Structure 1
Amino acid sequence: MNILTEKFNTPYHSAPFNLIKNEDYLPAFKELIQKSEEEIDAIVNNPASPTFENVIEALAYSGEQLDTVSNIFFNLNSAETSDELQQIAQEVSPILTEYSSKISQNEALFNKIKKVYDEKEKYNLNEEQQMLLNETYKGFVRSGALLNEADKEKLKKINMDLSLKSLQFGQNVLASTNNYFKHITNKADLAGIPEAILEQYAEEAKERNLDGWVVTLQYPSYIPFMTYAENRELRKEIALANGKRSFDGGEFDNQNLIKELLSLKHQKAELLGYKDYADYVLEERMAKSPAKVIDFLNELLVKAKPYADKEIEELKSLAKADGIDEMQAYDHAFYAEKLRKAKYDLNDEELKPYFPLNQVQDAVFGLANTLFGLSFEERNDIPKYHEDVKVYEVFEAGNGKPEDGSNHPEKTFKALLYVDYFPRKGKRAGAWMTSYKNQYTKDGENSRPHISIVCNFSKPTKDTPSLLTFQEVTTLFHEFGHALHGMLANTQYPTLSGTSVKWDFVELPSQFLENFCYEPEFLKTFAKHYKTGEILPDEKIEKIEQSKNFMEGYQTLRQLGFGLLDMNYHTKVGDVESKSVKEFEDEYTKATQLYPVNPETAMSPSFSHIFQGGYSAGYYSYKWAEVLDADAFQYFKENGIFNPEIAAKYKVLLSSGGTKDPMELYKSFRGSEPKVESLLKRAFG
């Protein structure tokens, strides 16, 4: 018996992590692909005339168990990977890509879809059904359904290559990140670094059976070093190692992979009738065209550049006082922290005791309760994939009915929430939200989602709980905003549920929630010293508020640099071919660079968002969504940040998923289209 092909005998049919063995995956994928293909065959071979129900709906609900196992496997490959799991991924990815191509290029299936699409006027479809029909038809066309057989084969091969090469890209970045560590034995080299961080470095050394301290390129280790270390030579050395990740000509170098990936994407776009890959991607985004994105990014660049230049001049005068005539990128965090302390008398380390992880989590749970009536209760009997993970049942207040696995008939079960907060060797860097199971409604039953938040916060030590920097506080709120999008989902079809929205809309809920972290009335409810219980003093809260836009010009230019680089990678095909990765990167980020460019480093080879993740020709969406979130929060600010009527309208936006055009959803909530002025006002006053 293979646990992955059976119905899970767990509360809420949650993933039975404790029973899954690595050798279960490959046979399970093969069996479930076959089962899913049989479901497709049943749709194709149905002798009845094609209808919305027997074609479009049947397809939307097909492959459920395969999706579940895919979610389990690929989520673990990001959060708890191993050499064995990565090897399985190399075997599984082409099989899944082939399966996906087989469906999208199934001519008989597409003919049935096209018949329903062409005759849609005769069906009395509601808005969600119309969206499902349109998205299904477009999805097949964009996957090559209208191509001839030879071109279908070409596309199939391209998709297969893309799948394997993007997987390899991510594995190279992870290996390159893990491969480096700096062993320090002289404490004088660590001057300026706070005691709590030193403790963390000592723990890292101990785990490697070394004396002294160890600094790694993992975010919670690297960022504090660059922020506090007075030793400029060591800052330079570690920054250089970070900037050389997958860019050192070694075993894990990604430069050739970048060219191969971009070439494959361009071939795919051309085959499907698009000018370039950005053109192909943006057809399905709010922004609609590369030209509109470039204009949007350049408009922000013009407005933000003077602020960024002014900020850097301030830092340079501080550095000059230390005898540094030419400030470098590896000096930025150190002097930015000095300036922040001088301006606002704030530093991360003095704020951290007020933000123990458990209190911050309680705060974000409490906010979800205030705005949306959600409550969270830990379950210790639900399987998890690592001892650090915690699992919560999420309920909505009201007269619910008892659900399978729930002991609370007075509440409605809304979701399972997994939280996984601490770094470890098998976990990729960064923070993300994902799902193990989407929400959908079928045969009258609303099947609820299983959502996960994964972060990389400092682990507790034997003397100290996990304490968050203020930036990490906003990170947790950000990922929880995505989680709310998943947990509040209330749609009929799994493919339109939760975060299944246009890509440049998906960051609205996450970025929106970050705004609450800067509101004094909310901060006072949870920013309390973990030892004394003292509330964060008013003057510090005021300084957090004032410092909200600290280095906003610099941060904006940094994000615009990533967005412009991404957009140019996916439109300037000739330049990609003729230039080295380094030359290309330097040219198309030149307008956003504020420091001398180091000839030995490049960020593209570790730019996982666009070469491994789903942000290809879509990185601009962070800034695009900032316009949305600034405008949305302005609406709350004008009417009270906990205003129940506006929260109820916003809840409708979240629960609607991809069932409506995002601009229409936004206008229903706000009453008008978002204004870029809301972002500029928040950022620069």
Structure 2
Amino acid sequence: MNILNKPFDTQFHTAPFSKIKNEHFLPAFKKAIEKAKKEIEDITNNPETPSFKNTVEALDFSGEELDRISSIFFNLNSAETNDEIQKIAQEVSPLLSEFSNDITLNEKLFKRIKTVYQAQNSLNLTTEQKTLLDKKYKSFSRNGANLPEDKKQQLRDIDKELSKLKLKFGENVLAETNKFEMLLTKEEEVAGLPEGAKEAAQQLAESKGKKGWLITLHYPSYIPFMTYANNRELRKKLAIASGAKAFHNDALDNQENVLKIVKLRHERANLLGYKTHAHFVLEERMAKTPEKVETFLNELLEKAKPAALKEFTELESFAKELDGIDQLQKWDGAYYAEKLKQKRFDLDDEKLKPYFKLENVIQGVFTISERLYGLHFEEISTIDKYHQDVLTYKVTNDKGDLVSIFYADFFPRPGKRNGAWMTSYKPQYVKNGENSRPHISIVCNFTKPTKSKPSLLTFNEVTTLFHEFGHALHGMLANTTYPSLSGTSVFWDFVELPSQVLENWCYEKEALELFATHYETGEVIPMDLIEKIKASSTFHEGMQTLRQLSFGLLDMSWHGVESPETIKSVKEHELKAFENTKLYPDVAENCMSTSFSHIFQGGYSSGYYSYKWAEVLDADAFEFFKEKGIFNKDVATKFKEHVLSQGGTEDPMILYKRFRGHEPQPDALLKRAGLIEK
């Protein structure tokens, strides 16, 4: 029997990665889909009167095997993919899309749910049950259950096409990222690069049988080069290559995919009675409407733009004074910003990195979680993994009960997409009186250890690790009954609160002293460096805010437009969307949309604003911790009980107010960012 179609007999029922072969996936998916269909049939044909238990609850617990296989497969497709897996993904995605539509367009099933939905006031349901019922009803109504037959078929066709286009989009971006290599053979070409970055580039070249230094578009290679390399022409070459991903009018071009995705999403929304894709998406977000999002983004833009323009003018003068640069270009930004930052704060990442050895930072985030939430992390080697670099941990509480299994995957490799993310292999839920605990994973792309140095993180990488770990805590501490409401299954503009709030501890002396020790001497990070980290945390905050807002506005311009079929040029549309946030001259060869995976492959369409939205929440939430003490047990318990453990069981604003006592105040963010007076 296929290993994926039977319960895993491993310790903690974790995925037996080493025994799973690529050829297992397609047959396993097909079998699991059949099994899930049978479960749906049983619910639909149940002769008993529809009740919450036999219909809504039964539906939420159905398809468990299929969900498990999907989690394993699509996580591998992001973190450890290859041509074969990508090919399977192209075959499997339409099958899953079809199955999903089979459920949401199943009239008999919808009728049962509608019966329960209309009788809910007489059913004495808990808050969580009411939320689940509402969510299930909407998952049908928002996916075409009320449509006539011909329109249902149209919806199925759109969904099938969309699932393929999104995959193709992501594959093209990954292929473009992996394709580009810049081999440097002269010492002067790598002048300015920190020793660690040079050594890593040399090792990469060696691993490919080449002599010299190999620079790629993967972040641990790209970021140091753009930040430190003195050679302006080479920075230009690298920046243009990065900005031109999937924008070459060749087989890997994404322009057509972007236009098709946007057009199909719009058609789908119209079919369901919504004005635009953004109207459809935002109905199930804290923000509620595109108008509210536009207002939110533009109000922040109004506050941030004067600061951004001032910062940019200052950076231009600095570059001119230093190197006679007449026109600051995109490939100059990180380089001169780093030089200005060093001059102003006498702080550069290379001075900080020795204090942020990866193992110490991991231990730090564990210690902070222990002090806040009573969690204990024990590395165990008996859990199977999909790559030797992956670390595995057993997480327990103060009583020794299992809280979660935790996977951590930190280094880049060819089969792994860029960036950092949190995901899960198994959700938490309560079934037959047993609280089944989750399997959570974080995936990052940090600099690998070299022959002479351990993995030393930049401060930005430290905050990235804390960010993803914040998401992981949201998953680990889940304590709900139903899998679809568990952990990070919350409104998209709320999901970034746990991740972003944890980043705040990276700037606090009390927290840094727990883990920021020099990897050679063991010396705790000096107080003056902590002060500089703190002081520099708002450096170029205006420009950073403008950048984030520009991405949010670009997203809304694609998905909030009422006639996307009139958009003929991806590049022209993008330039128009960037008009109010533009600082640098445009680069003709570049286009952001063609590699904007968050909105065209990931789940952030009409949702990119949520990073800024969640920043308002996190600044306001952390202000509460600051008032009472950053390790205050009462505040931490409140946050754990009202936010982290609740998943999507209630409207997030209700949960937030229960924790904080009031709605979030944007002033906390503007103060922290230095955009208004404290």
Deviation at 1:327, TM superposition (A): 0.7
Q: Is this contact kept in 2: 1:259–1:577, CA < 8 A?
A: no
- Partner residue, 1:407: none
- Partner residue, 1:262: 262
Distance 2:634 2:191 in 1: 52
Q: Read off the aligned partner of 2:83 and give its amino acid letter.
A: D
Q: Read off the aligned partner of 2:671 and give its amino acid letter.
A: K
Deviates more, 1:345-354 or 1:496-505: 345-354
The aligned length equals 673
- Partner residue, 1:580: 569
Distance 1:578 1:31 in 2: 42
Name stretches of at least 5 consecutive residues in structure 1 with no aligned partner: 399-410
- Partner residue, 2:651: 661
- Partner residue, 2:429: 440
Q: Is this contact kept in 2: 1:528–1:535, CA < 8 A?
A: yes
Q: Is this contact kept in 2: 1:104–1:144, CA < 8 A?
A: yes
1:265–1:298 Cα change, 3 Å: same
Partner of 1:302: helix, strand, or coil? helix
Name stretches of at least 5 consecutive residues in structure 2 with no aligned partner: none
Q: Deviations over 1:511-537 (max 9, x none)?
A: 000000000121122111100111111
- Partner residue, 1:252: 252
Distance 1:459 1:79 in 2: 16
> Is 1:488–2:489 an aligned residue pair?
no
Deviates more, 1:417-426 or 1:113-122: 113-122
- Partner residue, 1:545: 534
Distance 1:159 1:504 in 2: 24
Distance 1:552 1:465 in 2: 31
- Partner residue, 1:133: 133
Deviation at 1:578, TM superposition (A): 3.2
Distance 2:501 2:549 in 1: 19
Distance 2:390 2:416 in 1: 13
Distance 1:92 1:362 in 2: 39
Deviation at 1:575, TM superposition (A): 5.6
Deviation at 1:323, TM superposition (A): 1.1
Distance 2:44 2:564 in 1: 45
Distance 2:354 2:519 in 1: 6
- Partner residue, 1:449: 438
Deviation at 1:574, TM superposition (A): 3.1
Distance 2:296 2:274 in 1: 22
Distance 1:352 1:549 in 2: 20
Deviation at 1:324, TM superposition (A): 0.7
Distance 2:42 2:273 in 1: 31
Distance 2:294 2:590 in 1: 26
- Partner residue, 2:235: 235
1:576–1:466 Cα change, 3 Å: farther
Q: Is this contact kept in 1: 2:263–2:564, CA < 8 A?
A: no
**Shift >4 Å, 4+ stretches:** none
- Partner residue, 2:410: 421
Q: Deviations over 1:408-459 (max 9, x none)?
A: xxx1100000000000000000000000000000110000000000000000
Q: Read off the aligned partner of 1:17 and give its amino acid letter.
A: F
Q: Is this contact kept in 2: 1:575–1:584, CA < 8 A?
A: no
Give the alignment partner of residue 527 of structure 1, picking from 506, 516, 520: 516
- Partner residue, 2:381: 380
- Partner residue, 2:640: 651
Deviation at 1:164, TM superposition (A): 0.5
- Partner residue, 1:471: 460
Q: Is this contact kept in 1: 2:420–2:443, CA < 8 A?
A: yes
Give the alignment partner of residue 613 of structure 2, picking from 619, 624, 631: 624
> Is 1:592–2:585 an aligned residue pair?
no
Deviates more, 1:428-437 or 1:597-606: 597-606
- Partner residue, 1:679: 669
Distance 1:370 1:593 in 2: 43
Q: Read off the aligned partner of 1:602 and give its amino acid letter.
A: C
Distance 1:578 1:350 in 2: 48
Q: Deviations over 1:78-103 (max 9, x none)?
A: 00000000000000001111000001
Q: Deviations over 1:625-672 (max 9, x none)?
A: 000000000011011111111100000111000001000000000000
Deviation at 1:314, TM superposition (A): 1.5
Q: CA RMSD in A?
A: 0.7
Q: Read off the aligned partner of 2:216 and give its amino acid letter.
A: T
Distance 1:673 1:231 in 2: 49
Distance 2:383 2:120 in 1: 44
* TM-score, structure 1 normalization: 0.98
Q: Is this contact kept in 2: 1:55–1:113, CA < 8 A?
A: yes
Q: Is this contact kept in 2: 1:585–1:604, CA < 8 A?
A: yes
Partner of 1:215: helix, strand, or coil? strand
Q: Read off the aligned partner of 2:558 and give its amino acid letter.
A: Y
Residues 165-244 of structure 1 mapped to structure 2, 5 A cutoff: 165-244=165-244
Q: Read off the aligned partner of 2:661 and give its amino acid letter.
A: G
Distance 1:601 1:30 in 2: 41
- Partner residue, 1:402: none
Q: Is this contact kept in 2: 1:552–1:683, CA < 8 A?
A: yes
Distance 1:182 1:15 in 2: 38
Partner of 1:182: helix, strand, or coil? strand
Partner of 1:498: helix, strand, or coil? coil
Distance 2:420 2:392 in 1: 17
- Partner residue, 1:61: 61
Q: Is this contact kept in 1: 2:4–2:24, CA < 8 A?
A: yes
Deviation at 1:573, TM superposition (A): 4.0
Q: Is this contact kept in 1: 2:170–2:597, CA < 8 A?
A: yes
Partner of 1:246: helix, strand, or coil? coil
- Partner residue, 1:283: 283
Q: Is this contact kept in 1: 2:471–2:488, CA < 8 A?
A: yes
Distance 1:638 1:268 in 2: 47
Distance 2:444 2:250 in 1: 29
- Partner residue, 1:392: 393
Q: Deviations over 1:450-505 (max 9, x none)?
A: 00000000000122110000000000000000000000000000000000000000
Deviation at 1:106, TM superposition (A): 0.4
Deviation at 1:604, TM superposition (A): 0.6
Partner of 1:525: helix, strand, or coil? helix
Distance 2:424 2:401 in 1: 20
Distance 1:451 1:103 in 2: 27
Distance 2:173 2:411 in 1: 19
Q: Is this contact kept in 1: 2:266–2:564, CA < 8 A?
A: no
Q: Read off the aligned partner of 2:113 and give its amino acid letter.
A: I
Q: Deviations over 1:270-291 (max 9, x none)?
A: 0000000000000000000000
Distance 1:500 1:575 in 2: 30
Deviation at 1:576, TM superposition (A): 5.8
Q: Is this contact kept in 2: 1:576–1:584, CA < 8 A?
A: no
Q: Read off the aligned partner of 1:178 and give its amino acid letter.
A: N
Partner of 2:515: helix, strand, or coil? coil
- Partner residue, 1:406: none
Distance 1:235 1:573 in 2: 39
Q: Read off the aligned partner of 1:394 and give its amino acid letter.
A: V
Partner of 1:549: helix, strand, or coil? coil
Q: Deviations over 1:350-386 (max 9, x none)?
A: 1101000000000000011000000000110110000
Distance 2:127 2:424 in 1: 25
Q: Deviations over 1:150-196 (max 9, x none)?
A: 00000001010110000000000000110001000011111111111
- Partner residue, 2:369: 368
Distance 1:558 1:247 in 2: 21
Distance 2:37 2:614 in 1: 38
- Partner residue, 1:358: 359
Partner of 1:102: helix, strand, or coil? helix
- Partner residue, 2:17: 17
Q: Read off the aligned partner of 2:655 and give its amino acid letter.
A: L
Q: Is this contact kept in 1: 2:408–2:443, CA < 8 A?
A: yes
Q: Is this contact kept in 2: 1:165–1:261, CA < 8 A?
A: yes
Distance 1:193 1:314 in 2: 24
> Is 1:77–2:77 an aligned residue pair?
yes
> Is 1:342–2:343 an aligned residue pair?
yes
Distance 1:602 1:347 in 2: 30
Deviation at 1:251, TM superposition (A): 1.5
Q: Read off the aligned partner of 1:509 and give its amino acid letter.
A: P
Q: Is this contact kept in 2: 1:8–1:16, CA < 8 A?
A: yes
- Partner residue, 1:608: 597
Q: Read off the aligned partner of 2:25 and give its amino acid letter.
A: Y
Name the % identity: 59
